[in-house]
Amino acid sequence: MRTILVDKDQQLIDLIPTLVGANRIAIDTETTGLDWWIDVIIGMCFSVDGETGYYVPFGHEQGPQCSFPIVSYVVELIVRNPLSTKIFHNAKFDRHHILSTFGLEVLPPIEDTMVGAFLIDNTESKGLKYWTTRLFDDRLEKLDNRMEAIRKSRDPQSFVSLTPTEFFEYGAGDAIFTFKLWETFERELGDQIHLYSTEVELTDYVMMMERRGVLIDKDFLAYQGEKIDEWLPRTESELERVVGYKLNPRSPKQVADLLYTRLKMPILKYTDSGRPSTAEEVLLNLPDHPAIDLILRVRTLSKVKSTYVDGIISKLTTGNRLHCSFNQLGAETGRFSSSKPNLQNQPREGSVPVSIRSAFVPTPGTLLVFHDYKQVEMRVFAHYSRDSQLIRLCNEGYDFHLSTAASIFNKPREEVTKAERKFAKNVNFGYVYGIGPTSLARRLKIERNEAISFLRKYDRRFPGVPIFMRECRKEFERLGFVQNIFGRKRSIPFDKAYRSVNTKVQGTAADIIKNAMVRLIPLLRSCRVYPLMTVHDELIFEVPFDQLEKVREIKEVMEDFRLSVPIEVDVEFGCFSWGNKAKWDFDEFPLN
């Protein structure tokens, strides 16, 4: 490994034929932080052969370095070259910063070794240091440790305070090993190469969402926080009155003492450290007691205040826009996760005593439009199970969750509430993903014998389902992994074989959505419709009033994927906020 510090303009100019003329070039950015809308690049790292790495500093606080105009010129020659393959480890991060610092879009072809790492082994870290140590040696890890030690000795503790001479081996090493990783992953991806290509292309859509951001009504959100500040002390006082002493409901130790020592409640689950669990799902299955309701209420209010009120407000940029980070490799099944904040867990309207989603508002002159895949996991499950009854019901547009709710609560389908349907949805997915009679009995608060009867009724109604479940488990036990129709492989522990069905079904549903997002990119680039968020099975857009005809086109693209059952998309819109949605009627203008 040879690392070279390029800290003079002429030295960088002399390198142009090497950097621009390469068929492949690994690129890494060294930045002042992780947020592309605040932080900037201080140095660029390149390698064209996996043996020699170059570090080009231009933003350090001290030491000789290249000028920004020359660096910008050379970076443009590299990233705008359509004949050269650009290799990144976490391409989204580097592309965001290149666009923010230099104003440059990176042209394809693009490769991403972080995506490759995830597809090759979903059970391990996706980090560059981990994979270089696993496949090559620990040189990069040692450089990283050395840099961390130097950084922590400085005030402030920032990479920008280091001199280029102190930094260049670390930066250049990143580029060298990124190049080497791609050489290895390119051979190992095998039949997942098409899935890999989809994930890399998907980065374009993700960047569109993140750069647009969603508009937040800051004053409205702050008012919700003020209401919580009023309710919390009252709720804590009521809890103290009920239990007879001052209890900290946020303390697992104190809550466990109340429930299991003082109230003698049954211990349903232990933590990894061997202590009785006080997690929400445990508390919901304990015998009814007013203290439990109050503990859960305090926890919920505190979580909403810290994460969804204060957390969002603290992350707003100029113009009150929230630029969430969407991680397409966030879940082992292939589903998205999100952070800063986690939009996947935004409280629904009515689920907490304040309105959070109503603070997410459209930019003036636009609507928020929500395209939601309808019961996509149940449809995927029907496709895999090949159960004729399940397939027929899907083809007829049957609402499984509504029917199950009517059966559980013993009432006509038209009288089922949203909360009851949501409860039934959890029961259906419990069955689909192999819930046992004991867990089902606890969830439904019925006797175990009743739960056994309930599950047997499912099996008799859909005889193809238990056959599919057994086949899926046998496939996993034979191969050591689960693979879906897109080619995505997922390894799971052998003692968790029951998760094989969940893995196949959820992974397929996730890949259907990702496939649609990639196919939507040309349409979105040709108009002024802006993707804002993806939450579970839903894509959310900001649509200007003069672009409303695109709503149907988006729906058609999303539905253009054929299983043995049709894929359907429901569309809703919000004139005022995410929290106030109405069904989109394609037969009349939605604002009437």
Per-residue pLDDT, 406: 82
- Architecture of the structural domain at 377-499: Orthogonal Bundle (1.10)
CA distance linking residue 451 with residue 444, whole number of Å: 8
Helix axes 437-444, 418-432, angle to 10 degrees: 170
Residues 6+ apart with CB under 8 A from 226: none
**Can you give the C-alpha Rg of the chain in angstroms?**
27
Q: Of 100, 550, 507, give the one whose Cα is nearest residue 573.
A: 550
Q: Are 368 and 574 in contact (CB under 8 A)?
A: yes
Structure tokens at 36: 């592309």
Per-residue pLDDT, 531: 98
Parse the chain into domains and list their residue ranges.
Answer: 2-188, 218-319, 377-499
327 forms bridges with which residues in the sheet? 337
For residue 386, the 8-state DSSP code is: -
CA distance linking residue 176 with residue 30, whole number of Å: 14
458 forms bridges with which residues in the sheet? none
User: Per residue of the chain (592 residues), what is the pLDDT tens digit?
Assistant: 899 999 999 999 999 999 999 999 999 999 999 999 999 999 999 999 999 999 999 999 999 999 999 999 999 999 999 999 999 999 999 999 999 999 999 999 999 999 999 999 988 899 999 999 999 999 999 988 888 888 777 766 677 888 999 999 999 999 999 999 999 999 999 889 999 999 999 999 999 999 999 999 999 999 999 999 999 999 999 999 999 999 999 999 999 999 999 999 999 899 989 999 999 989 988 888 999 999 999 998 999 999 899 999 999 998 999 999 999 998 877 889 998 888 887 777 666 778 899 999 999 999 999 999 998 998 999 999 999 988 988 888 878 788 878 877 788 888 888 878 887 787 777 777 777 888 888 777 778 888 888 788 888 888 898 899 999 999 999 998 999 999 999 888 887 787 888 889 999 999 999 999 999 999 999 999 999 999 989 999 999 999 999 999 999 999 999 899 999 999 999 999 999 999 998 876 554 4
What CATH superfamily is the domain 2-188?
Ribonuclease H-like superfamily/Ribonuclease H (3.30.420.10)
Fold match flag (2-188 vs 218-319):
no
Which helix H or strand E contains 478, and what residues bound it? helix 464-479
Residues 6+ apart with CB under 8 A from 173: 1, 3, 53, 139, 140, 143
SS3 assignment, position 374: coil
Q: Are 572 and 367 in contact (CB under 8 A)?
A: no
Per-residue pLDDT, 591: 47
Which helix H or strand E contains 40, and what residues bound it? none
CA distance linking residue 462 with residue 452, whole number of Å: 16
Other beta carbons within 10 angstroms of residue 10's beta carbon come to 9
Q: How far is CA 559 from CA 273, 470, 562, in A?
A: 47, 30, 8
End-to-end CA distance of the chain: 67
The pTM of this model reads 0.90
Per-residue pLDDT, 80: 97
Return the CATH fold of 218-319: Taq DNA Polymerase; Chain T, domain 4 (1.20.1060)
Q: Of 236, 243, 218, give the one whose Cα is nearest residue 302.
A: 236
Tell me the DSSP string of 287-308: PP-HHHHHHHHHHHHHHIIIII
Per-residue pLDDT, 455: 83
Per-residue pLDDT, 592: 41
H helices, E strands: number in the chain: 23, 18
Structure tokens at 366: 């636009």
Q: Are 192 and 522 in contact (CB under 8 A)?
A: no
543 forms bridges with which residues in the sheet? 367
